[in-house]
Structure 1
Amino acid sequence: MLSAVSRTRVLSLLGAIERTNQCCPSHGGGLKSDYAFEMACSTIRFGPGVIAELGHDLKNLNCSNIALFTDERIRKLKSFENVLRVLETKKIKYNIFDKIRVEPTDTSFKEAIHFACQGQYDGYVAVGGGSVMDTCKAANLFASSPDKESTDFLDYVNPPIGKGLPVRHALKPCIAVPTTAGTGSETTGVAIFDFEELHAKTGIAHRSMRPTLGLIDPNFVQSMPSRVAANSGFDVLCHAIESYTAIPYNQRTPRPTDPIERPTYQGSNPISDIWSIQALRSVAKYLKRSIENQHDDHEARTQMHLASTMAGIGFGNAGVHLCHGMSYGISGNVRSYHAKDYPKDHPIIPHGLSVVMTSPAVFEFTAHACPERHLEVASILATGGQSKSKFLNHPHKDAGKILADILRQFLHGVNVDDGLKALGYTTSDIPALVKATIPQKRVTKLAPLTHTEEDLARLFENSMKLY
């Protein structure tokens, strides 16, 4: 019998062989890895009070009748009144859609799409967190289609649940105004939702869905509830680490025959690395302060808002892998857990919490593939963002344990629930959690280490308790 470490190394070697360009000398064929990467991003404007420029931007985009997406909580805030005042000053017509579900479903997406299709909107504005922005992006996609009457909802949804058809029509201008510091959705062409029939998350991903402009105004996150700040920040944390440790872009297969077929998530690359590492430094320095000093630490809230966008640029091109792939079953199979500071009308495990729960187990596992990068991450977290080299002289075989231990200390310090059991799961749920992870190959294939269903089951088991 192989030891766990030996087995992991064998799988890593098999994965490397699988990704290597293999050609038959007689036929010259073979599955080729990619040779190029793209860096695409929404235009980003950052600054306190930058929302005042929204009306000018819409006018410059020739938008005069917009669909305005938000949620019922945001709609009641003074900051949203400022948005309406800006629109009215510039005489821009708007219709508000606020029936956003926190952690959207296919049903809530369809309701938003129906709303968008009923109006003759020449632009879209999303004011809210990831759920609002993702819903707005999906509505824009379907309502902008010249064939919207005949388009099936699953046409653009990621396979294997949907058909994953390429988007070939132009979308209307979309401006995203994030009110949480987490998803980075203002920079990405991704919209995530729960597919209720399968109790699993999936999404729509295409570069054309990226917002035209992201207005990053720190004034919108100063009133964010403490646990919303925490769970949003955990998403930033995992975006940064997963994109930095993802398979390199030139090891991803297959090589596209047409650039339009190149996936949104392409693997780590030298440019995405810069964004991911800088975002991680900010998380290490500011996340705990942002959680603990609600309303009082404007610097921490501001820097986390910027970190969310930086991580979004990084993972929006490089991608994420196992933490996110495994999270979709965790949030999709929730029974009775109600997160503090979130709506109480339905059980909910916030996305960032579902992602971070498996992070110690996942990175202890993936460290065998790229130990140097995992040690760099551990160094940054352990030094509050000050150093990448604290652990670089440690043996590579210890990289996984070092990072896992530091992550557990970090999460304990910001009062994260003690593992999946604290969210209502038991070991009897592991088969269902693994089953929900299998369709997420769009992201799990970017893991630096080849993995099996048995590996996934072990990772879920090792995540039942964190401390």
Structure 2
Amino acid sequence: MAYPFRLPEVVYLGRGALANLGQEVKRFAASRALLITDAGVQAAGLDKKIIGMIEEVGTKVDVFAEVEAEPSTETVDRAGRLVREGGYQLLVALGGGSPMDVTKGASVLAVNGGSIKDYVGIELIPQKGVPAIFIPTTAGTGSEVTQNAIFAFKEEQVKKGVVSRHLLPRVAIVDPELTLSCPPRLTAATGVDALVHAVESYTALKATPQTDIYALEAIRLISASLRTAVFNGSDLEAREKMALGSFFAGVSLANAGVGAVHALAYPLGGKFHVSHGVSNALLFAPVLEFNCLSNLAKFARVAGAMGEPVAGKSCREAAMLAVKAVRELVEDVGIPTRLRDVGVSEDDIEFLTLSAEKQTRLLSNNPRAMTRKDIERIYSSTL
């Protein structure tokens, strides 16, 4: 089956890419722009440079820096009202996945109205929103290239996704130099998140030869450079490979989708406020092990791309090396490996299972069908 393949209108990728910001701002001929970011980015001082570059081309810029980790529907609704009432003609997202997702939501809410809750699901947004430029400061979410946005529904203690072609960024500027200030723990969590995107989209039911090219290269780049980026964050070569890997994984994710790792991770973020990257990392190896039998050849190629010695091994042996490689990488970069480490107890398994089971959009794209019992077993084995 043929699936659509989409990318942002313009992409600048590599060292020094940020130098193109001014000309892109000018292209939209906006008199007023809103920079959407968070307190962490402000603390690192990255916002000042961006504000200066925007003002240099004659555009007035205001700042919305109230984005929290794992942003709520309330936050994106508030940002959407601000954009609409303020008459902003251009949005600039600066930060990790949270500011970028809030920017996507605010962009379409300013034009379409309502609450972001009204658009949960696939292709439910009627019109494109206010133009936006996306500048990631982490290498992980790939939000700068996807048509997805994820938000926390506090009252339900779950996270849900909005998927629409109208969320696809107009411009993505991916400059690895902006990730140099990213601290080790965040580098680790976002880096594993990017690897999950690459592996899940590579093995997804909607994967195509086109997305496979991006996903496999992302697996190679991230596996080879994440440890260095975490433990020697000033290594610009490692940071550049992570930025490339994250972007490529985002391209694959945007077009092939992801599966059960994300489905089981969402309830952790909603109820226990575990970051998206850590949630994915916790479920990565267990779900991978469950999925391996669905496509041994592809999982064997994942293992090879992660640097495992697959030569001379049977297809099954090689595929299982992917699980080993993932476990070692997650442990090496210091991410928790047990659910109990993030506050989950045996009493929570039923809630998590029932919540994950509702993620049908994701589970339907998983390479192996997953029953309620399978979900419960994976959570229990990870406790």
Range of TM-score over shorter length: over 0.9
Inter-partner Cα distance in structure 1 for 2:296 and 2:318 = 6
Q: Which residue of 1 aligns with 2:2?
A: 36
Letter in 2 for 1:431: E
1:271 aligns with 2:271: no
Q: Which residue of 1 aligns with 2:130?
A: 172
Inter-partner Cα distance in structure 1 for 2:81 and 2:357 = 30
Matched position secondary structure for 1:299 = helix
Inter-partner Cα distance in structure 1 for 2:291 and 2:311 = 17
CA contact (8 A) 1:174 1:213 kept: yes
CA contact (8 A) 2:350 2:376 kept: yes
The CA deviation at 1:136 is 0.5
Q: Which residue of 1 aligns with 2:118?
A: 155
Q: Which residue of 1 aligns with 2:345?
A: 426
1:422-459 C-alpha deviation (Å, 9 max, x unpaired)? 11112221111111212211111100111110000011
Q: Which residue of 1 aligns with 2:363?
A: 444
- State how 1:193-272 maps to structure 2 within 5 Å: 193-247=151-205, 267-272=206-211
Alpha-carbon distance change, 173 to 370 in structure 1, aligned in 2, over 3 angstroms? same
Inter-partner Cα distance in structure 2 for 1:380 and 1:202 = 31
CA contact (8 A) 1:363 1:400 kept: no
Letter in 2 for 1:458: R
Instruction: Give 2:267's match in structure 1, choosing from 318, 324, 329.
Output: 329
CA contact (8 A) 2:139 2:246 kept: yes
Inter-partner Cα distance in structure 1 for 2:314 and 2:278 = 31
Letter in 2 for 1:212: R
The CA deviation at 1:305 is 1.2
1:307-353 C-alpha deviation (Å, 9 max, x unpaired)? 1111000111000001111101112121xxxxxxxxxxxxx422111
The CA deviation at 1:165 is 5.7
Give aligned-pair identity as a percent: 30
Matched position secondary structure for 2:306 = helix
Inter-partner Cα distance in structure 2 for 1:82 and 1:152 = 32
Inter-partner Cα distance in structure 2 for 1:157 and 1:77 = 33
The CA deviation at 1:220 is 0.8
Matched position secondary structure for 1:301 = helix
Inter-partner Cα distance in structure 2 for 1:69 and 1:271 = 32
Matched position secondary structure for 2:53 = helix
CA contact (8 A) 1:227 1:291 kept: yes
Q: Which residue of 2 aligns with 1:309?
A: 247
Q: Which residue of 1 aligns with 2:110?
A: 143
Inter-partner Cα distance in structure 2 for 1:172 and 1:321 = 30
Alpha-carbon distance change, 200 to 400 in structure 1, aligned in 2, over 3 angstroms? farther
Matched position secondary structure for 2:71 = coil
CA contact (8 A) 1:245 1:268 kept: yes
Q: Which has the larger radius of gyration?
A: 1
CA contact (8 A) 1:155 1:165 kept: no
The CA deviation at 1:76 is 3.5
Greater displacement, 75-84 / 310-319: 75-84
CA contact (8 A) 1:64 1:122 kept: yes
1:185-229 C-alpha deviation (Å, 9 max, x unpaired)? 000111101111111110211011111010111121001000000
Q: Considering fraction of residues, name the structure with more helix.
A: 2
The CA deviation at 1:277 is 0.5
Instruction: Give 1:356's match in structure 2, choosing from 263, 278, 281.
Output: 281
Matched position secondary structure for 1:96 = strand
Inter-partner Cα distance in structure 2 for 1:65 and 1:374 = 48
Alpha-carbon distance change, 328 to 168 in structure 1, aligned in 2, over 3 angstroms? same
Inter-partner Cα distance in structure 1 for 2:374 and 2:131 = 43
1:155-210 C-alpha deviation (Å, 9 max, x unpaired)? 2112xxxxx56323132211000001000000011110111111111021101111
Matched position secondary structure for 1:446 = coil
Structure 1 residue runs without a partner (length 5+)? 1-34, 159-163, 248-266, 335-347, 384-389
Q: Which residue of 2 aligns with 1:453?
A: 372
CA contact (8 A) 2:353 2:375 kept: yes
TM-score normalised by structure 1 residue count = 0.79
Inter-partner Cα distance in structure 1 for 2:291 and 2:318 = 10
Structure 2 residue runs without a partner (length 5+)? none
Letter in 2 for 1:371: L
CA contact (8 A) 1:366 1:400 kept: no
TM-score normalised by structure 2 residue count = 0.96
CA contact (8 A) 1:181 1:233 kept: yes
